[in-house]
Amino acid sequence: MFYENDAVRKQKIVGDLNKYIMSQKQVAEHLKMARSNLSIAISKGKLKPLYVFDHNSSRKLALFYRKDVEAFLQNRDMHK
């Protein structure tokens, strides 16, 4: 059931997603790395998605928590 304040709730969700969540493409661009290298970092457990849609599909959609991406970047830069 939808309520009158659903439009406001929807705007808040969109705002929070833009503030805290990144797609795999955004992460790769932010880290300045190829998507294939990002996939390797994910498979090695160096960077973990916050949530993966269609986990059993070949076309997964991974979402990342922005703070985790920033921590990965800082850690990577320290080890260069």
Half-sphere CA count of 51, side-chain side, radius 13 A: 5
The sheet carrying 61-65 orders its strands as: 21-23, 61-65, 51-53
E strand residue ranges, the chain: 21-23, 51-53, 61-65
**For residue 48, is pLDDT > 70?**
yes
Model pTM score? 0.82
* 69: confidence class by pLDDT, cuts 50, 70, 90: very high
Distances from the Cα of 64 to the Cα of 19, 67, 69, angstroms: 11, 9, 7
